[in-house]
Structure 1
Amino acid sequence: MLIAAPPQRSARRRPSLPLARLLFSGLGLAVAGLMVLPLVYLLLRASEAEPAQVAALLWRWRTVELLANTAALTVGVLTLSTLIALPLAWLLSRTNLHGRRWLNLLAVLPLAVPGYVMAYALIGLAGNYGFLNQTIGVTIPRPQGLWGATLALSLYCYPYLYLNLRAAFAGLEASLEETARALGASPRQVFRRVTLPHLMPALMAGWLVVGLYVLGDFGAVALMRFRVFSYVIYQQYAIAYDLLYSAWLSLILIAIALLVVWVESRLRQGQHYSGSGTGSGRPLAPLRLPAWGQVLGLLFAIAVATAALGLPVAVLSFWISRGVSQATWQGLLGSFGQSLSVAAPAALLAGLMAIPVAVLAVRFPGRLSRWVNRLSFVGYAVPALAFALAFVFFTLRSAPWLYQTHGLLVLVYALAFLALAIGPIRSALYQARPAIEEAARALGLGPLASFRRATLPLIQPGLVAAVVLVFVTVMKELPIAFLLAPPGFRPLAIQMFSRTSEGMLVEAAPYAAAIIAFSALAVGVVLRRDRERPQTTAMPAAPAPSLSTSPPPCR
């Protein structure tokens, strides 16, 4: 007589893997739903208008003007940023320029000076009472309009391109250029026909990041009084209170941003830039610059650092030295506390929401995880002002008790900067071996317990980096706070922007200095991650979402 053996303990534990996948899938879908629900509601709310009314709104000359201004600003910033970043990356990556290590640090540090702070520096430079007139007796007109906004945003955004190009130059193989030279190509032809095509992925990734930032920027264009979509959306909502027109302008801006992302992804499809041979490629040897090349290269790198970093520091120091009242310093402490009250919980919430999205992408790849991952980047790809306005419409109609509350502001911050948190956590999960989780489950732990006790300690550095990035980004964020801040809520960014708009440059200087200090923390985290990243990795690269490439560290 055969007696059936009792089921083994390991057999009873076998359903733990599907249970873990179901749990993380549910959490990931909840995050994706929170991300897209207000945007869908914004579309439904805007579509309630009559077709004739919509046509009259969209075919205004003002709308055409906004489209032309936005396109001109985006093209201008991309052009000027490329003219700065490309030669700078070549000098610091491909040549033996003296002081490359320090010059590289100076090339990245302008990320700590947000666009609206850079605009403040340019404004504080001009006029009869400006920095130039008071120090060397030179008076320049107040920067404004297209050229002022282009200059302010380019000096802030060029490091995004620089970081991408520097990595691309470091990854080039020596055999590519050597083969072209052996075939008789001149150095200029080698750069144009060999090097530049291999830099296109880095250029497109950087252009995407810069373009999305310019489309969503509010502070710099508002201070420069340049009418683009984001600036007029705020005016129509906050001043004219034309909700319908602001909704349709937001949808146009969202459509432009998503179109830019789609075009960039289509251009990348089917492109291959790796070598076809076996083995690892030999890196390029640094080019030896002659004496005059060293001088010109140093002058160019120092000029860029002076304009993007030295200028705002000098202007801020000048205006602070003019005498800041005791009340301003006390207000600075109060604003710091208010900024901290939303930045800390938003950073923690973003880190928690990023965990299931990253786990789905790494441990349970598939169609569902791909869509959850893509939708999680929507908040960063969509311009901040339009994203915030979607929550305004959603809460006014569906949850009025939530409108202009501290909790709503924290939630929107976490969703808007969720992409910043996903990257470090996802990278840490790729480096954490799944065998450790499997061993924990084999010892009798459930899916949550095995993740908490085995996986979470391994990804803790990535989680900390994610929280820090979101924290310092929220500390300096402006457009979302303008639309969703509770009554009386005056964080650092709003205080600095409001005082600059009113011409109170002395009172605005301490707030701008505090914003730069906290932004420098984000740059420090990025530089540390870049320095600790291994040159060769054994783990597969994270799949790039179709809605965005790796997001920039600061918005």
Structure 2
Amino acid sequence: MPTKDPVVRTDPAASPAGAPASAGRLSAGRRAPAVLVVPATVAAVFALLPLGYLAVRSLERGPGFAWSVVADERTAQLLGRSLGLAAVVVTACLFLGVSLAWLTVRTSLPGARVWSVLVTMPLAVPSYVAAFAWLSAFPELAGFPGAALALTLVSFPYVYLPVTAALRGTDPAQEEVSRSLGLGPLRTFLRVTLPQIRPAAAGGAVLVALYVLSDFGAVSLMRYDTFTRGIYTSYRASFDRTPAAALSVVLVVMTVALVAAEARTRGRAGHARTGTGTARPAVPTPLGRWRVPALAWCSAVTAVAVVIPLGTLGYWLAVGNSATWDPAGLLDIAGTTLGIAAAGAALTTLLALPVGVIAARHRGRTAHLLEQSAYAGHALPGITVALSLVFFAVRYAEPLYQELPLLVCAYAVLFLPVAVAATRSAVLQAPPVLEDVARSLGRSPLRVLREVTVPLAAPGVAAGAALTFVVCMKELPATLLLRPTGMDTLATRLWTETGTGSFAAAAPYAATLILLAAVPSYLLGRHRT
């Protein structure tokens, strides 16, 4: 009877000196090939482009002025508020994502396949739509509670999806051995399962933290001051961009610190099978008397994350007199949104592939630097990334100014970490011994990448591309600044109508945006089942 291949703990220090790089050992000492380093460097430079703009702008009036902005009491307040919001949202998302992933993958939860799809649906709800839905129903939530609630409910799938993939990719035999030795489900989870899913959970937590730090729509609607709102206010209040650039530099430092902390929690080890990866399914853990509470928990999360926002939109569609339906115009804007999001997802995935492979397979300063560089733009507000690209286009590439390629490039800078995290997680699940065998047979690094690494990681990379497609559709600040004259997306039209108080007129665009984003979100959830 076929059995599942064992999981090998891929710790570079575990192999004896002189042993060949096999049995899942990572490339700790081997340099990454040029076929990966060169495109990964291009991606890193691309992601770091906004930092060049910030350096020029923040030092325009001298280091002393920039430091006075950074050291100001108002900056310290924004720092505390941003970090506090991020900490609460990340903690809540870890609890939601890990608990739901374990229930849907490792237990006898009734309807697990259906719940796996439903809990990914919040990916289709933009943060500003969620904030609007809750604020219109409960005005007293304005401020920190509302911002934390809205951001948590749209962000926890960033943890759920990678943890689900990790649970399906790890060997359940270790958990079965633990239970056979007398350890209960909780101790088995803490001592066996949790260490195996920790890299995936940590990567998802970083994405959530960066998403919170860079969010503009939800915090603006909830009237809660964070760095992004402070930077936007600074840009709007004065023609002097130096204060806003100095505040953005603080966000970059916070991003680097978060990525470095995640790398330390991840450690030097990974998990991969030594064989083909053909797996027998894990034996579900019986829920027993906990079945009803588990179903109630899944139902409650789905209700507050999906049903309430959709119900609010349904209300405005039903009773709003200002909702003027223009099917032709709505269809045209929807097509534009899909096209731009697809182009952004394709470019982002292409740039992320070499970075993700290096991050998963190689260790050292170069690998860490390339990975951390890819995260640089994600914590920057979309308005800062947009202005940096305008700065670059006007001075060095004027034909691109107010053209579609510039907006696609902004999406790539903003969402490169989403694709990098998915790629890295997918490559970590693939057995590196197969790549070692291919190299020992004389295959070049490019052929190994094309014929072994990419096919093995393709499902995870595709999932990352779908996730990137969703977030590109929902992006707002950069789209507002960089879209060509006369072009609208669903997000920009929704924001325009909401800004004038025409909530019913905004409802058709919000509903269409959620409907379109729900398709890849559904496929992501189905891919995990």
Alignment TM-score > 0.5, same fold:
yes
Match of 1:174 among 176, 182, 207: 176
1:477 paired residue number: 475
1:39 aligns with 2:37: no
Q: In 1, distance between residues paired with 2:104 and 2:527?
A: 19
**Conserved? CA contact 2:494–2:510, under 8 Å:** yes
Greater Rg, structure 1 or structure 2?
A: 1
**Conserved? CA contact 1:212–1:381, under 8 Å:** yes
1:513 paired residue number: 511
Distance of aligned partners of 1:116 and 1:165 in 2 relative to their CA distance in 1, 3 Å threshold: same
1:294 paired residue number: 291
Local SS of the residue matching 1:97: coil
Q: In 1, distance between residues paired with 2:302 and 2:408?
A: 35
**Conserved? CA contact 1:250–1:386, under 8 Å:** yes
1:229 paired residue number: 227
1:215 paired residue number: 213
2:311 paired residue number: 314
1:206 paired residue number: 204
**Conserved? CA contact 1:74–1:215, under 8 Å:** yes
Q: In 2, distance between residues paired with 1:353 and 1:83?
A: 31
**Conserved? CA contact 2:344–2:469, under 8 Å:** yes
2:21 paired residue number: none
Q: Tell me by how many angstroms 1:307 deviates.
A: 0.9
Q: Percent identity?
A: 34
State the AA in 1 paired with 2:208: V
Q: Tell me by how many angstroms 1:201 deviates.
A: 4.0
What are the residue-to-residue correspondences of 1:231-380 with 2, within 5 Å?
Answer: 231-269=229-267, 283=282, 285-290=284-289, 293-323=290-320, 325-326=323-324, 328-340=326-338, 342-354=340-352, 372=370, 375-380=373-378
**Conserved? CA contact 2:143–2:223, under 8 Å:** yes
**Conserved? CA contact 1:109–1:309, under 8 Å:** yes
Number of aligned residue pairs: 483
Residues 489-533 of structure 1: per-residue CA shift (max 9 Å, x gap): 3311111123223322111111111211222233234235435xx
Q: Tell me by how many angstroms 1:389 deviates.
A: 4.0
Moved more, 314-323 or 156-165: 156-165
Q: Tell me by how many angstroms 1:365 deviates.
A: 9.9
Q: In 1, distance between residues paired with 2:364 and 2:423?
A: 19
State the AA in 2 paired with 1:289: G
Local SS of the residue matching 1:173: helix
Q: TM-score with structure 1 length normalisation?
A: 0.72
Moved more, 189-198 or 220-229: 189-198
Moved more, 416-425 or 212-221: 416-425
Local SS of the residue matching 1:49: coil
**Conserved? CA contact 1:254–1:386, under 8 Å:** no
State the AA in 2 paired with 1:287: P
Moved more, 357-366 or 154-163: 357-366
State the AA in 2 paired with 1:125: A
**Conserved? CA contact 2:214–2:378, under 8 Å:** no
2:112 paired residue number: 100
Q: Tell me by how many angstroms 1:434 deviates.
A: 7.8
**Conserved? CA contact 1:351–1:467, under 8 Å:** yes
State the AA in 1 paired with 2:42: A
1:63 paired residue number: 75
Distance of aligned partners of 1:320 and 1:355 in 2 relative to their CA distance in 1, 3 Å threshold: same
State the AA in 2 paired with 1:521: V
The runs of 5 or more residues in structure 2 that have no matched partner are 1-32, 274-278
Local SS of the residue matching 2:110: coil
Moved more, 55-64 or 331-340: 331-340
Residues 180-206 of structure 1: per-residue CA shift (max 9 Å, x gap): 63xxxx776666666666654444333
Q: In 1, distance between residues paired with 2:162 and 2:505?
A: 37
Q: Tell me by how many angstroms 1:258 deviates.
A: 1.4
Q: Tell me by how many angstroms 1:397 deviates.
A: 5.2
2:23 paired residue number: none
Q: In 1, distance between residues paired with 2:454 and 2:161?
A: 30
Q: Tell me by how many angstroms 1:281 deviates.
A: 11
**Conserved? CA contact 1:425–1:459, under 8 Å:** no
Q: Tell me by how many angstroms 1:150 deviates.
A: 0.6
Distance of aligned partners of 1:401 and 1:121 in 2 relative to their CA distance in 1, 3 Å threshold: same
**Root-mean-square deviation (CA), in Å?**
4.4
Local SS of the residue matching 1:417: helix
2:494 paired residue number: 496
Q: TM-score with structure 2 length normalisation?
A: 0.75
1:79 aligns with 2:81: no
Residues 367-406 of structure 1: per-residue CA shift (max 9 Å, x gap): 8677556544544465544433433444455556644433
Distance of aligned partners of 1:76 and 1:285 in 2 relative to their CA distance in 1, 3 Å threshold: same
Q: Tell me by how many angstroms 1:221 deviates.
A: 0.9
Q: In 2, distance between residues paired with 1:169 and 1:406?
A: 40
